[in-house]
């Protein structure tokens, strides 16, 4: 139950602020604010359970009707108890909803971009998408950090994984998960023909350590020697890290840093985000197992957007929106597109 997770978070934060010497000022203030927020929810839940128990007792007394005077008193109290219970239930639902929205609003994200169909042209467009998101993040004053990258011979990106932190990051970037299709004349094309290539984007919410506990015994950590495209940037030490979560088989690796310690920290962040997404997908599969279309994760294999360079057009197929400002969009001008997506999402 959601409230149990919040209570667990509350108790862990209480233990943290009882040891202020272990926290810097910023961390202490953050913990203290969160404790205050959670205490309202936990207090409300305590009252909810108390009134629920009184309501149950009153209904049992009326049902048994062993003592007429007591039963009559219970009947008189019942309407007031029901009204109070319904009001507390609404208050609790509101507090939980606000807390959930706030968590999503402040949540960071890990974005994974991978070249799909189209060979070298797909890697070049993957690089272009990364630059597009970088420019948008810069305008929003978000903090971006490349966590893992694999370049192609022509300077494209076979794969690039980066973390983004800042206000509303996940609530805005979550719409970007899926297949992005590009139609243009590739730099590798000598005859001037328009090619179609694809790039996949996955957007994972980045959770705090307190929200997802990983048993260290469930991890296998391997080190290996990092290497770059075309033999460049080759490390002479085994600083690259690959971490495998044994129960699920989910892996994450990082080789961008020369320090093994830094690579390990980044790989753990990627793994944490992938595990969180894995848990979410399993829950959604369980919820939708009786539906005809069970797998929501198929969203990633569906074409969500087309970038048509000859027509200067970007079309988002989910909302049937076409914008004739492809040049501006590739420079990070995503506000109109993101606003339209958010509007449809909120309306739904």
> Do 198 and 53 share a structural domain?
no
Q: Which CATH number is 269's domain given?
A: 3.30.160.20
Provide the whole-model pTM.
0.59
Domain boundary residue among 258, 287, 316? 287
Total structural domains within the chain: 3
**Phi-psi sector, 80: left (phi>0), alpha (psi -120 to 50), beta:** alpha
Specify the pLDDT at position 15.
86
pLDDT digits (tens, 9 = 90+) for 262-298: 888 888 888 888 888 888 777 666 544 433 332 233 3
Domain that holds residue 242: 211-287
Q: What is the reported pLDDT for 273?
A: 85
Q: Are residues 253 and 136 in the same domain?
A: no
Give the model's confidence band at 157: pLDDT under 50 very low, under 70 low, under 90 confident, else very high: very high
Q: Could you tell me what percent of the chain has a pLDDT over 70?
A: 84
Q: Quick one: 231 and 192 in the same domain?
A: no
φ, ψ at 193 (rounded to 5°): -80, 145
Q: Tell me, what CATH number does 161's domain have?
A: 3.30.70.1660
| Contact assessment for residue 331 and residue 312, using Cβ atoms and an 8 Å cutoff | no
- Strand 178-184, strand 195-206: pairing: antiparallel
Which residue, 253, 275, 252, is CA-closest to 205? Answer: 275
The residue among 105 and 131 whose pLDDT is bigger is 131
Same domain for 200 and 300, yes or no, is yes
Instruction: Look at residue 346 and tell me whether its pLDDT is greater than 60.
Output: no
CA neighbor of 157 nearest in space, from 132, 176, 139: 132
How many Å apart are CA 15 and CA 20, to the nearest integer? Answer: 10
CB atoms within 10 A of CB 171: 18
Q: What is the mean pLDDT of residues 315-338?
A: 95
Identify the domain boundary among 75, 104, 133.
104
Question: Are 88 and 128 part of one and the same domain?
Answer: no
Torsion angle (degrees, nearest 10) of CA 304, 308, 311, 315: 10
Whether residue 232 is predicted with pLDDT greater than 50 in this model: the reply is no
Strands 219-224, 195-206: parallel, antiparallel or unpaired by DSSP?
Answer: unpaired
Band of pLDDT at residue 228, cut at 50, 70 and 90: low
More confident residue, 27 or 181: 181
* Predicted local distance difference test score (pLDDT) of residue 309: 95
Instruction: Identify whether the C-beta of residue 252 lies closer than 8 Å to the C-beta of residue 271.
Output: yes
Answer whether 178's CB lies under 8 Å from 344's CB. no
Q: What is the mean pLDDT of the chain?
A: 82
pLDDT digits (tens, 9 = 90+) for 3-44: 887 888 888 888 888 887 777 776 777 788 888 888 888 999
User: Cβ(161)–Cβ(112) under 8 Å?
Assistant: yes
The reported pLDDT for the residue numbered 17 is 84
113 and 201 assigned to the same domain: yes
> What's the average model confidence in pLDDT over 72-99?
87
Q: What burial letters (b/e) apply to 238-265, b meaning 16+ CB within 10 Å?
A: ebbbbbbbeeeeeebbbbbbeebeebbe
**Spatial distance between the Cα atoms of 229 and 154, rounded to a whole number of angstroms:** 9
Q: What is the pLDDT of residue 160?
A: 94
Out of 147-151, 313-317, 342-346, which region has the weakest mean confidence (pLDDT)?
342-346
């Amino acid at each position: 139950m959601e409230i149990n997770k919040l209570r667990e978070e509350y108790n862990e934060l209480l233990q943290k602020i009882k040891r202020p010497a272990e926290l810097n000022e910023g961390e202490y203030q953050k913990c203290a604010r969160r404790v205050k927020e959670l205490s309202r929810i936990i207090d409300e839940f305590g009252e909810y359970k108390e009134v629920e128990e009184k309501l149950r007792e009153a209904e049992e007394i009326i049902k048994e009707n062993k003592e007429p005077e007591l039963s009559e008193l219970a009947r008189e109290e019942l309407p007031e108890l029901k009204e109070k219970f319904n009001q507390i239930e609404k208050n609790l639902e509101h507090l939980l909803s606000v807390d959930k929205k706030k968590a999503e609003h402040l949540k960071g994200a890990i974005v994974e971009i991978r070249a799909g169909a189209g060979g070298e042209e797909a890697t070049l467009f993957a690089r272009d998408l990364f630059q597009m998101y970088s420019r948008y993040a810069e305008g929003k004053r978000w903090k971006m950090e490349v966590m893992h990258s694999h370049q192609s011979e022509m300077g494209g990106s076979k794969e690039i994984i980066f973390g983004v932190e800042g206000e509303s990051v996940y609530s805005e970037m979550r719409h970007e998960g899926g297949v992005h299709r590009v139609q243009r004349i590739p730099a590798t094309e000598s005859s001037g023909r328009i090619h179609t290539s694809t790039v996949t984007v996955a957007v994972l919410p980045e959770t705090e350590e307190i929200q997802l506990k990983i048993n260290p015994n469930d991890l296998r950590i391997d080190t290996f020697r990092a290497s770059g495209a075309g033999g460049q940037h080759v490390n002479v030490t085994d600083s690259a890290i690959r971490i495998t979560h044994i129960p699920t088989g989910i892996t994450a690796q990082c080789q961008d840093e020369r320090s093994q310690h830094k690579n390990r920290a980044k790989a753990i962040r990627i793994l944490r985000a992938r595990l969180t997404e894995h848990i979410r997908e399993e829950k959604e599969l369980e919820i939708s197992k009786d539906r005809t279309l069970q797998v929501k994760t198929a969203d990633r294999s569906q074409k969500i957007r087309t970038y048509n360079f000859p027509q200067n057009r970007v079309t988002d197929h989910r909302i049937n929106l076409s914008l004739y400002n492809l040049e501006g969009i590739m420079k990070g001008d995503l506000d109109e597109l993101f606003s339209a997506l958010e509007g449809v999402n909120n309306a739904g």
